[in-house]
Amino acid sequence: MVEELAAPIALVGYGLAAIGPGIGIGIVVGNAIQAMVRQPEMAGVARTTMFLGIAFTEALALIGFVLFFIA
Amino acid sequence: MGVILAAASCDPAVDIICAPDDVLELFEFKDALFTIGPFSFTRTVFLMFLATAIVVGFFYFGLRKKAVVPGRLQSMAESVVSFVRNDIAIDIIGPEGVKFAPYLLALFSFLIVGNIFEVTPLINFPITSRMAIPAFLALVTWVIFVFVGFKRNGFSYLLDTAWPKSVPIGLRWLVGLIELVSVFFLRPITLAVRLFANLVAGHLMLTLLLASGVVFLSELPTIGLRALIGIPWFVFGLGIYVFEIVVAILQAYIFTLLSAVYIQTSIHPEH
Q: What is A22-56 written as a DSSP string?
A: HHHHHHHHHHHHHHHHH-GGGHHHHHHHHHHHHHH
At residue B30, the 3 state secondary structure works out as coil
| Domain with B33 in it | 2-267
Taking CA–CA distances from A50, the nearest residue in chain B reads B254
Q: How many domains is chain B partitioned into structurally?
A: 1
| B220 vs B256, higher pLDDT | B256
pLDDT tens digits, residue range B189-222?
A: 999 999 998 898 888 888 888 888 888 888 888 8
Q: Do B193 and A51 touch (CB under 8 A)?
A: no
**Closest chain A residue to the Cα of B256, Cα to Cα:** A52
pLDDT at A6: 77
171-190 of B, contacting A, C-beta below 8 A: 186, 189-190
Provide the pLDDT for residue B3. 46
Burial class (CB in 10 A: 0-12, 13-18, 19+), B151: exposed
Checking if the pLDDT of B149 tops 50, the result is: yes
Residue B166's pLDDT is what?
A: 84
Q: Could you report the per-residue pLDDT of B39-67, keeping only the tens digit for each? A: 778 888 888 999 999 999 999 998 888 88
The tens digit of pLDDT for each residue in B79-91 reads 999 999 999 999 8
Cα–Cα distance for residue pair B255/B104, rounded to 1 Å: 9
**Which three-class secondary structure state does DSSP give residue B17?**
strand
Report the residue of B193, B204, B256 to disrupt the A interface, i.e. the one with the largest count of A CBs within 10 Å: B193
CB atoms A62 and B197 under 8 Å: yes
Å between B260 CA and nearest CA of chain A? 11
Residue B230 — very low, low, confident or very high, per pLDDT cuts 50/70/90?
Answer: confident
Mutate: best of A4, A29, A52, partner B, most B CBs <10 A: A52
Q: Does residue B270 register a pLDDT over 70?
A: no
From chain A, pick out residues whose CB is under 8 angstroms from the CB of B190: 58-59, 62-63
Crossing angle for the helix pair B72-82 and B43-62, nearest 10 degrees? 110
Which among A51, A55, A69 has the least Cβ separation from residue B23? Answer: A69
Cβ atoms within 10 A of the Cβ of B82, count?
A: 11
List CB contacts (< 8 A) between B250 and chain A.
Answer: 51
CB atoms closer than 10 angstroms to residue B245: 14
Contact A58 B258 (CB under 8 A): no
DSSP secondary structure code for residue B20 in this structure: P
Q: What is the pLDDT of residues A4-55, one digit of tens each?
A: 787 788 888 889 989 999 999 999 999 999 999 999 998 888 888 898 888 8
Which residues in B lie closer than 8 A to residue A54 (C-beta atoms)?
254
Q: Is the pLDDT of residue B155 over 80?
A: yes
Q: Given pLDDT bands bounded at 50, 70 and 90, which one contains residue B136?
A: very high
Check residue B20 and give its pLDDT. 56
For residue B1, the model assigns a pLDDT of: 34
Q: Mean pLDDT in chain B?
A: 84
Contacts A51 to B, Cβ<8 Å: 250, 253-254, 257
Structure confidence at residue B103 (pLDDT): 95
Tell me which residue in A48, A63, A69 faces B257 most closely, judged by beta carbons: A48
B258 touches chain A (CB under 8 A): yes
What pLDDT is recorded for position A21?
93
